[in-house]
Amino acid sequence: MYEIIQKLHSGWAYLAFLVLVIAVVNSLIGLVSKKEFTEKDRKISLFGLAAIHTQLLIGIIVYFVSPLGFSSLGQMKDTALRLTSLEHPLMNIIGITLITIGWMKHKKLTTSESKFKTFSIYYGLGLLLILSKIPWNLWF
């Protein structure tokens, strides 16, 4: 069971990463070109939010069904175990929190420029945090 969920987590990561990159690039293009924020832009950002939250839920399941589970938390000298059991989940939760804050903040904004700027900053920072702690040696 663990292997299936772990492969789902790894596979979904590609889709979530792609959708999130599209959302960040779309917001940067909208900000730079000073275009009007449309329903299409909102949906792109919403798909990024949904994809990354789905990845979080799958990741939480992986974490709790992992054969190592919480037992690996006592082995902080092993960098690979520390990355997968502490750093990766913690930084991703912080990154996803930033993305969620960006989504919530955009709802209160009225101008297109402020919406694109909010998405660019919060989604961009969230993406950078997530990318900083991906276990790249396990991903490819």
Residue 129: pLDDT band (50, 70, 90) is very high
Does residue 75 register a pLDDT over 80?
Answer: no
- The tokens for 107 are 């709802």
Q: Looking at the chain, list the stretches that DSSP marks H as alpha helix, in order from N- to C-terminal side.
A: 2-33, 39-65, 79-82, 88-106, 112-132, 136-139
State the CB neighbour count (10 A cutoff) for residue 41: 21
pLDDT tens figures, 87-114: 889 999 999 999 999 999 999 999 999 9
How far apart are the C-alpha atoms of 70 and 98, rounded to whole Å?
26
State the CB neighbour count (10 A cutoff) for residue 20: 26
pTM for the whole structure: 0.90
- The tokens for 114 are 């402020």
